Amino acid sequence: MRKLTLNELKETQICILTHVADFCEQNEIQYWIDSGTLLGAIRHKGYIPWDDDIDVGMLRADYDKFSKLFNSSDSQYRFVCLENSPKFYLPHGKVCDMNTILYEPDENGEKLAVNIDIFVYDNAPDDEVELKKMYDKREFWRKIYWMQNNYIDKNGNIVKVILKYLRRAMDRCQYSRQKKVKKHV
Residue-wise pLDDT for 130-185, tens only, equals 888 877 877 777 677 666 655 555 555 666 666 776 777 777 776 555 555 555 55
pLDDT at res. 97: 92
Q: What is the mean pLDDT of residues 4-11?
A: 83
Prediction pTM value: 0.68
Considering only residues 165 and 77, tell me which one the structure prediction assigns the higher pLDDT: 77
Residues 115, 103, 105, 49, CA torsion sign: negative
Q: How far is CA 34 from the centre of its chain?
A: 12
